[in-house]
Amino acid sequence: MLLLAIDTSGKNGGIALVEVSTGQSRVDVLEVMSLDGGAFSAQLVPQIATLLEKHGHNKNDLRGFAVVSGPGSFTGLRVGLAAIKALAEVLQQPIAALSLLEAVARNSSSHGRLLAILDAGRREIYVGDFEIDPRNASMVRMHSERLMTREKFLAEAQAANSSKTIVTPDSTLAAALRDDEIHVELIDYPNTGVIAQMGWERLQRGDTVLPEALQANYLGHSDAEIFSKPPR
């Protein structure tokens, strides 16, 4: 059966069409298609139709959806979520809503406690605190997701002597933090093939959301101390 995954959270986006089978742990990626930023509203639906037709399918063959629900661009997320809501409602198929920060953490080769970070603009940083099981990378526990000023993030990172691995796909952000003597691992940006894999894992667990409940996760400011150790 077919699963469609999309990500319209950033400057650029993507669509992935994958084949899956019940009981199968990995997805078989048929194709990953890039979307140019700034034109998601015009590109998304036609490109989905083109991708399905190219591989001999139509929308009625889809049996599930995986979509990045945030954090990211307000306009981009709104376009992507609206398209998935419409398709899922018409086709009566399940949706797996995914965090881009979790996808960043999953795309790292590191395990244990990770901080996945992304540039949010205006000297702010999206920060996700995750714990990945070293025996099974699909088992991820989210401790928190926050929007922080870069100064606050630097201050806490420098003061805490954190044992958490910091990962990002943003080379500019990584370089800036390294200039401030913060160790950062630079990784690849998670493409929609990664989103599809994560979505399939959630769909198999029944971790889904109804179209009317699908919402964007823009994140907000918080004074939470993400570098502090969790209470025992």
Domain coordinates of the chain in residue numbers? 2-99+190-213, 101-186
> Is the Cβ–Cβ distance between 170 and 185 less than 8 Å?
no
CATH superfamily of 2-99+190-213: ATPase, nucleotide binding domain (3.30.420.40)
Backbone angles phi, psi at 137, to 5 degrees: -65, -15
Per-residue pLDDT of the chain (232 residues; tens, 9 = 90+): 999 999 999 988 999 999 999 888 999 999 999 998 778 888 999 999 999 999 999 999 999 999 999 999 999 999 999 999 999 999 999 999 999 999 999 999 999 999 999 999 999 999 999 999 988 888 999 999 999 999 999 988 876 556 789 999 999 999 999 998 899 999 999 999 999 999 999 999 999 999 999 999 998 644 444 555 554 4
At the topology level of CATH, where does 101-186 sit?
A: Nucleotidyltransferase; domain 5 (3.30.420)
Cβ-based neighbour number of residue 124 at 10 Å = 18
> Do you find a cis peptide bond into 46, omega within 30 degrees of 0?
no
2-99+190-213 and 101-186, same CATH topology: yes
Task: Specify the pTM.
Answer: 0.91
